[in-house]
Structure 1
Amino acid sequence: MENPRLRIILVTVVLAAAAACGHKSREADAGDAAAPRGASALTPEEAAQVLVKVGKKTITLGDFAATLEQMDQFDRLRYQSPERRKELLEEMIRVELLAEEATAKGYDKEPSVAGERRAILREALVAQARQSGPTPNEVPEPEVRAYFDAHRGDYRDPERRRASAIVLRDEASARALLDAAKKATAAEWGELVRKKSLDPSAKANVPVDLAGDLGMVSPPGDPRGENARIPEEVRAALFEIGKVGEVHTKPVVAAGKAYLVRLTQKADARERTYAEAERTIRIKLSQDKMRAKEDELLAALRTQYPVQIDEAALANVGVDAGKRN
């Protein structure tokens, strides 16, 4: 067999997913016997019917239906015809054959495979714990509004400004070009950028009035609108400029270069309304509740399976960051 590790992982993924789906279906049936059971609508007797035997293993009609039902609606559309469903069954048979052979050869005992299997089971358990959390649309309206009222500052967007710059080797070179830069129209500024700027992006194939553009940035000290292309000294100077289209009164020295800085666009500070912020808040609260479910599960598991850490042994472990495999 080629690449046995990957194959056994594939087997584990497929069988774990089918088992999880079957478990969810059984839970739904137990909770409400009159509820629809999906497209298959199998009775318990029908679900137990053996569809295929593969060695000592069996694939039941319920296993096959569970595999279909775990797919999203678009994937299920591929299996509307009997021929395509037969292809799916053949794939399940291949999985079982690989599982039998991989187990017979002991591949399931390999440390790397065992680690992958534990990771898969971990994700399945965490996903099940999170399922009891609400979707964004299920978060109660009063809770969303209460969060918005308590975090108004998070939904106040600061003023943002767009910078364009001519980057020169030193302050003397920048001062020599400053008067021409101040008098330049947008197109003339772009030509100056292309002719004089040392910034590699100055020669980019963009409209001339966009030459030298460094993007938007928020006021100094505001982390929400940082821009890695704009040094802090340039950022501060940008917010000292009075009007769009003006150039800062003096060169700005930063990162060993001198910048002539032009303000090309300004977006005023604004406060988002509840309607604008609602969806973002719903997603956040939903995710918070899902993480809380996961934390509750882990806390319960630590009670059930006590954890003991040998701190002295841990202290003896070092990492050589210079070594590479």
Structure 2
Amino acid sequence: MVAIVGEGRITKQEFEAKLAEQPSFVRSRYSSQEKKKEFLDNLVRFELLVQEARRRGLDSDPEVRAMLEKVMVQQLVKTHTESAGGAAVGDEEARAYFDANVSEFVKPPRVRVNQLLLKAPRGSPERAKALAQAARLSAEIQRSENVKQAFDTAVRTHSQDTMTQSQGGDLGFLTRDEMVAAGGESLAESAFALKAIGQLSAPIETDTGVHLLLLQARQVGLNQTFDQVKSRIVQRMESERRAKALDELVQSLKDKTQVEVKEDVLAQVNPETLTTTPPPQKEPGARTP
């Protein structure tokens, strides 16, 4: 014992444990006997207050008991998930996770464009007419005070792409390869050449017809290596293991514990009429969720 406080005792181990909780630069201040007494005095004060709280019956106070139960549950979750989580995630496991989810860490750049399409197959008599109409519409749109709004109006009025016309020609986010598959190399090249949000392209010829594109957004690509994301993967996998261990514990407790829900009582609860009040006095044996 390093101190006797009424009926309480402060052991050397308890004193050392409390001192060890302090940062190293703080612990160094308590090298002398005088300073150690100062630190011990704080523990004595705390013990005196604990004993007084018990004398006043605060250890049976509903709010105190509810707080204690929360701390106990937190400690249970911590100890169970740490012990049941298994061995630390190794390099091979982390690498396998990376390979299975590589699309999360390696992503090509994408653009989101709206298009106005005037259908005129390459070599058809309609091609020259479509080009002239696209040039005229482009000039009208760029003269407008609100290019985006003017483009949207033009799409809904003139575009012949029935799949996107009602959405203002929105093609969604597409990679270069997806854009090539959707409309050809020239369409993809023009789309990715747009730099400023709201920028309008010149008329673009494809096998299908003549297009005008308006840039809505850009997404920068990702090319993260395994070494760059390894620590994040390990942290995620260990977190998933702890969550799984907790779910399994809760399920096992449900399996062996009778749980009955009083639907009629639950139906009487009206959240809108509730106000913040101290927790009610619990009946013996009652538990706080």
TM-score, structure 2 as length reference:
0.55
Quick check: 1:175 aligned with 2:148? Answer: no
List aligned pairs for 1:309-324, cutoff 5 A. 309-320=261-272
Which residue does 2:69 correspond to in 1? 118
Alpha-carbon shift at residue 304 of structure 1 (Å): 5.8
Q: State the SS of the aligned residue for 1:53.
A: strand
Partner amino acid, structure 2, of 1:53: I
Which residue does 2:97 correspond to in 1? 147
Q: State the SS of the aligned residue for 1:317.
A: coil
Which residue does 1:63 correspond to in 2? 14
8 Å contact from structure 1 (residues 160, 267) kept in 2: yes
8 Å contact from structure 1 (residues 245, 262) kept in 2: yes
8 Å contact from structure 1 (residues 159, 267) kept in 2: yes
Identity, % of aligned positions:
25
CA distance in 1, matches of 2:269, 2:38: 50
TM-score, structure 1 as length reference:
0.50
How many aligned positions are there?
199
- The 1:107–1:274 alpha-carbon spacing in structure 2 relative to 1, beyond 3 Å, is same
Q: RMSD of aligned C-alpha atoms?
A: 4.0
Quick check: 1:129 aligned with 2:80? Answer: yes
8 Å contact from structure 2 (residues 108, 220) kept in 1: yes
Which residue does 1:248 correspond to in 2? 199
Instruction: Point out where structure 2 has 5 or more consecutive residues left out of the alignment.
Output: 113-140, 148-170, 175-189, 202-213, 278-289
- Considering only CA atoms, is the larger Rg found in Structure 1 or Structure 2? 2
Work out which structure has the larger RCO, using CA pairs closer than 8 Å and 6 or more positions apart in sequence: 2
CA distance in 2, matches of 1:77, 1:157: 51
Post-superposition CA distance 1:281-310 (Å, at most 9, x none): 011011112223333433444456543332
Partner amino acid, structure 1, of 2:44: I
CA distance in 1, matches of 2:251, 2:25: 37
List aligned pairs for 1:194-233, cutoff 5 A. 220=172
CA distance in 2, matches of 1:75, 1:129: 32
List aligned pairs for 1:1-325, cutoff 5 A. 50-71=1-22, 73=24, 76-132=27-83, 138-157=88-107, 159=109, 175-176=144-145, 220=172, 242-245=193-196, 247-249=198-200, 268-302=220-254, 305-320=257-272
8 Å contact from structure 1 (residues 52, 60) kept in 2: yes
Q: State the SS of the aligned residue for 1:139.
A: coil
CA distance in 2, matches of 1:286, 1:314: 37
Partner amino acid, structure 2, of 1:117: L
Q: State the SS of the aligned residue for 1:176.
A: coil
Instruction: Point out where structure 1 has 5 or more consecutive residues left out of the alignment.
Output: 1-49, 163-171, 179-218, 223-238, 251-260
Question: More deviation in 145-154 or 314-323?
Answer: 314-323
Partner amino acid, structure 2, of 1:286: E
